[in-house]
Structure 1
């Protein structure tokens, strides 16, 4: 069983001993530490206020009740959204003029996992420095609870989904009428979580006909919830039967998005962001950002439209920070995460779906036709298992020195950019491994590049 405390929050498996898993005592401690941090920076015009939302995990109600109760005990006003996506909760923080937010979700992790994702007053994930401060407060247990006359208040907002959907439909580049005219027919896999609640409402508003798989928000995931091809055979088979324009897949908290082409094949998770960016850049001149492990296709599309591409360290907060620095008009991560600042600085599958449908309506293309217009790359993902006492930083430094004549980026591990391919090595924050991602114009070439670097590393150990 596992408990992982990091600058982005706390996550772990449910059940077991305190300190070893995500259990009530640790939930109280970490929520208290977060509340203490937020109170130091809270707005002066009201009592500290935090928005809470959760995905449909089996453990979600248990965790939610502890989180909300702890916040009340700290003297906070709580706005409980109930079942809500991660981007819905992010937007609700700003809407309710709150000082922060807690999203109860383990994202794409299996059902036995849960987590607390922590937001600031902008509805964005905490910076590394702020996250480190929360961890320090938790370690010292430096928090004080409110007396009986100063306990917080509890309110619910059970329909903020409506505000989220309206915000998506109101985006300038979401062409609602054009989408309605196309009369799309789609199949959705909502993984038995909150996507089954909000996506039908979005598609109804867009005039899209749909069949939904795994739509009941029971939290009993029908398959591994990470939206990868190996986990999506059910929806791929359904779309392949015919009669659909596409398939739409989200993860349990609806911040990642993948598409299935009309022939039942994967459109490509990396190409969710690339295609949406191609559409946005066709209407809005500007720059783009993705993390170092994302496809080079975004760079190519950005240059095609006259913009500049920038890479960030892996992690959503690193992407959004870089986007603000370079004034990017679109960005995200190759795992199907679309970040569109015209809406908000957070990965949002609803925004991605609406922009993608607008793109298809504008170009009058099928997904296979659209995919053929985009640069073709393949990414191979490997890992090197090491012992806990291996000096991974020293290994990465030696690799960097070996390839000093190539374009090397070291803001997050070591990425080596060759003329027609790249390889990225970065250490895991939770286990003694090096992740090795490589990209080239064919899968064989990408895999061979990754394994060549892996052999070099293994000879160093």
Structure 2
């Protein structure tokens, strides 16, 4: 029967997420997966679907539910087990699968889990693909396979090894130079999927690894999002171990945050900035990032005479724009780095290697590397706002706040490039609010922009 998603489930372009045992149940996971598999078989040629998960305690239960749903509609499942999310997408490409499913709630707390849906192109569903699948799910009853046409299950224990070798073979990396630098790296993998794989990659690059949260048992000891406020313990580890750099990844290993040699978190936007500096030094070309990413990425691109193009927020939006522009690197300001030479997906393992390459090539400490670039302050807020009044709200902001450049491709972005300031206002996809984010060389100016926008939008409440 058609599936009606319950209240409390958060629905995005690339999938669904919810609290385990509340909005998210094995029965729902089975139903969505069956619908997705049937939809894929209707629009693609083939029947192979790749499945992987992060280390959450609910992962085995939900993976079995997903597997059952896929098999019930005749899909053959390639089960990767616990792997980074980018490994899943690379495996979709490797197996020439009709799609893939990641059982992961990424940076969400341990009580959450999710389905992330992957197309045959080995990228997450875009808006068009998501709309088609959601229409199918809401209106169609997936045809079940008879007993002799049920899908099979095969394990693929080599997916991460292929991913690892692909990183080490990248022409953008001088692996021998990195090995000669003999870095000591402190790592916090928050007991997610990254512990074993990040350690193996760094050791292959000649690093001494000291780690916390390396066992992928899914027992997150803190908020798993790798933001500055969550990296205090990693900062202490950097100091105690006299590490050259600290790396933190989220549970599904697609976002990387950096802690410098003094134990100070650098901020997630600087992950992309330093990765761009690493790549553009050898391969100048177009950089793509989203509308809410720091101007420091634009500063780096400009220094290498490389154009920067901005896309709407969301990994798949950046990936699509990178494909269209032939970009050499891109990503988002949340620590997500995308290198098309490897794949069109955010990859924390890749990002860590690019950062080490940059530090080794320039013979810099992390604090020296970021000290080459201007510093900015970002302020964020959200305010209740009716979606039906968005157009009027944007018009008022353009009239009252101004901006030397304006972009309406994803909400409204007003920018003052000569002052290093911008303001981005965009609706939430999951609640009746608008998100406000501003950046400026000073926190006071960024706060003023956010406060001014909030005050103007308050007229509509």
What TM-score range do you get, normalising by the shorter chain?
over 0.9
1:446 is aligned to 446
1:252 is aligned to 251
- Which one is further off, 228-237 or 83-92? 228-237
1:37 is aligned to 39
- Partners in 1 of 2:202 and 2:81 — Cα distance? 21
Q: CA RMSD in A?
A: 1.5
Please state whether the residue corresponding to 1:5 is helix, strand or coil.
strand
The Cα shift of 1:58 comes to 0.9
Residue from 400, 411, 414 that aligns with 1:413: 411
Residue from 388, 398, 401 that aligns with 2:396: 398
- Partners in 1 of 2:276 and 2:68 — Cα distance? 42
1:436 is aligned to 436
Q: What pairs with 1:5-404 in structure 2 (closer than 5 Å)? A: 5-16=11-22, 21-43=23-45, 47-241=46-240, 243-386=242-385, 391-403=389-401
Please state whether the residue corresponding to 1:283 is helix, strand or coil.
coil
| Contact 1:239–1:264 (8 Å) recurs in 2 | yes
- Partners in 1 of 2:403 and 2:249 — Cα distance? 41
- Partners in 1 of 2:206 and 2:403 — Cα distance? 54
Q: Give a deviation string over 1:82-139, Cα, whole Å, max 9, x none.
A: 0011001110111111111101101100011111101111210112111111111111
- Partners in 2 of 1:157 and 1:368 — Cα distance? 40
- Partners in 1 of 2:297 and 2:141 — Cα distance? 45
The Cα shift of 1:149 comes to 1.1
| Contact 1:378–1:439 (8 Å) recurs in 2 | yes
- Partners in 1 of 2:373 and 2:221 — Cα distance? 32
The Cα shift of 1:265 comes to 0.3
- Partners in 2 of 1:102 and 1:55 — Cα distance? 12
2:459 is aligned to 459
The Cα shift of 1:8 comes to 1.3
TM-score (normalised: structure 1) = 0.95
- Which one is further off, 445-454 or 79-88? 445-454
Aligned residues: 453
- Partners in 2 of 1:141 and 1:322 — Cα distance? 32
- Partners in 2 of 1:157 and 1:68 — Cα distance? 14
- Partners in 2 of 1:95 and 1:188 — Cα distance? 29
- Contiguous gaps of at least 5 residues in structure 1: none
Q: Give a deviation string over 1:304-345, Cα, whole Å, max 9, x none.
A: 211111110000111011111111110000000000000000
- Partners in 2 of 1:252 and 1:48 — Cα distance? 29
| Contact 1:29–1:141 (8 Å) recurs in 2 | no
1:2 is aligned to 8
Cα pair distance change 1:144/1:109, threshold 3 Å: same
Please state whether the residue corresponding to 2:16 is helix, strand or coil.
strand
| Contact 1:256–1:349 (8 Å) recurs in 2 | yes
2:4 is aligned to none
| Contact 2:253–2:347 (8 Å) recurs in 1 | yes
- Partners in 2 of 1:274 and 1:41 — Cα distance? 39
- Partners in 2 of 1:353 and 1:66 — Cα distance? 33
TM-score (normalised: structure 2) = 0.95
- Partners in 1 of 2:104 and 2:395 — Cα distance? 35
Q: Give a deviation string over 1:184-217, Cα, whole Å, max 9, x none.
A: 0011100101111211111111111011101111
| Contact 1:427–1:434 (8 Å) recurs in 2 | yes
